[in-house]
Amino acid sequence: MFLARIEGTITATAKHPTLEGLRLLIGQRLEADGSPAGDPLILVDTLGARQGCTVMVTSENEPLRKAVGNNTPVRLLVAGIVDTVYQEAAA
């Protein structure tokens, strides 16, 4: 699991049928210091994360497969909306 910031939204008409009705967001994975890590990612959101939210993302899609079927080609889910992050100071 990792932290990401919500930075946008995406809409699509042509898509895999299991994506029908799912809320898709553009998220940016974050380094420990809050800087962006890697390319923007498409996330499935069921919690109602908003623009600018920091969220925790999981790459285990079991809940989604249970909901929409084993053949869904989606892995990244918003598992929680972050309130606070505590982190030990770097030495």
Instruction: Tell me which residues touch another protein (CB under 8 A).
Output: 5, 7-16, 19, 24, 26, 28, 30, 32-36, 38-43, 51-52, 54, 61, 70-76, 82-90
Helix (H) or strand (E) holding 67: helix 62-68
Q: Chain-centre distance of CA 30, in angstroms?
A: 12
Rounded to whole angstroms, how far apart are CA atoms 40 and 13? 21
User: CB neighbours (10 Å) of residue 10?
Assistant: 12
State in angstroms the smallest separation of the CB of 79 from another protein.
Answer: 16
Q: Which is nearer to another protein, 15 or 47 (CB)?
A: 15
Task: Please give the Cα distance from 31 to 33 (Å, whole number).
Answer: 5
Q: How far is the CB of 69 from another protein (least distance, A)?
A: 9
Shortest CB 50 distance to another protein, Å: 10
> In the bound complex, what is the minimum distance in angstroms from residue 55's beta carbon to another protein?
11
